[in-house]
Amino acid sequence: MKIAVCVKRVPDMDVRFKVAADGTSVDETGVKFDLNDFDAWAVEAALQLKEKAGQGEVVVISLGPNSVQETIRKALSMGADRGVHLQADRIPFDSFAIASALAAELKDGGYDLILFGKLAPDSSNSATGPIVAELLNVPCVTAISRLEMADGRGTAKREIEGAQEIVEFPLPAVLTVDEGLNTARYPSLKGIMAAKKKPLESKPAQLGESKVKIEKIELPPERAAGRIVGEGAAAVPELIKLLHTEAKVL
C-alpha cells in the first residue's frame, strides 16, 4: 500500500500573536512551529496501515519555505519512508492554490491513499484535502475518526452534529483525519537518527493563481471585562438576576 500524507508546519497556538508591520501577516518573531496535530494523526494512520499490511511506502509531502523540511523530518522520524518538499516563499492562505500544487505532485504518484489532517489551526480553512480529491477525481471522505480497510475498500466514521455517518469508499481515495482516530506516536531516538538519512526531495511548488487575498489581519475585539458576581451558592440569585435583566438570556 502506497500512502501519501500531506502535512503542514503550523505555529504553536499557545502565544499572544502580533500582526506584522505589513498588516496582512503574522509576526513570527519568537513563535515556535511544529507539525499540525491533525496531520500527525494522519501520519500515524498511514504508519499503522503500512504496518498492518506488512509492506508499502509512506511519503510525506509539505509545501512552504525551507523550514518545512524540519516538519517533514519529524514525520520521517515517526517512521515515514521519504519526504517531498514543495518550495514556496511562504505558505499561502489560498486553499485552491495549495491544492493545485499538491495535486500536481500527487497525480502520477500511484498512491492508494492520500491523507490530510482535517484542519490547520492557523489558516483554519479546512478545504485543501477535498479540493485535491476533486482535482485528482478520486473519492474523498473528510473528518474521519475511525477507519477500517479490507479488500481495497474502506469504511470510515464521521462525527457530524449529534450523529455519526458511516461512509464506504473504494481506493484510491483522499481522507482527512479528525481527532479520535488514533494517538500519534512520539519519534524514538532511533527514529530520529534514521530520519536524518531518509530521502527528502525538494522542488519548486507549482502554485496555482490565487483568487483569495488577505487584505488585513487584526486582533479580535476584546471581550468587555467581566465581573465576579460573588462566591459560592450565595451568588446564584444575583447571577440569575443578571442573566434575566442584563444579558437577557433567561
Q: Angle between the 37-53 and 68-78 helix axes, to the nearest 10 degrees? A: 40
Alpha-carbon distances of 48 from 3, 56, 113, 149, 193, rounded to whole Å: 11, 11, 13, 11, 21
223 is an interface residue for another protein by CB under 8 A: yes
Whole-angstrom Cα distance, residue 186 to residue 175?
Answer: 22
Q: State the cell numbers at 15.
A: 502565544
Residue span 47-86 as binding mask against another protein, x where in contact by CB under 8 A, dash where not:
----------------------------------------
List the one residue from 82, 93, 104, 107 that touches another protein (CB under 8 A). 93
Q: Angle between the 95-106 and 128-136 helix axes, to the nearest 10 degrees? A: 50
Q: 35 vs 76, which CB is nearer to another protein?
A: 35
DSSP label at 249? Answer: -
92 is an interface residue for another protein by CB under 8 A: no
Select the span of 65-73, 75-83, 140-148, 190-198 touching another protein (CB under 8 A).
Answer: 140-148
28 is an interface residue for another protein by CB under 8 A: no
150 is an interface residue for another protein by CB under 8 A: no
List the one residue from 142, 187, 205, 207 that touches another protein (CB under 8 A). 142
45 is an interface residue for another protein by CB under 8 A: no
- Strand 57-64 and strand 163-170: the pairing is unpaired
List the one residue from 50, 73, 85, 158 that touches another protein (CB under 8 A). 158
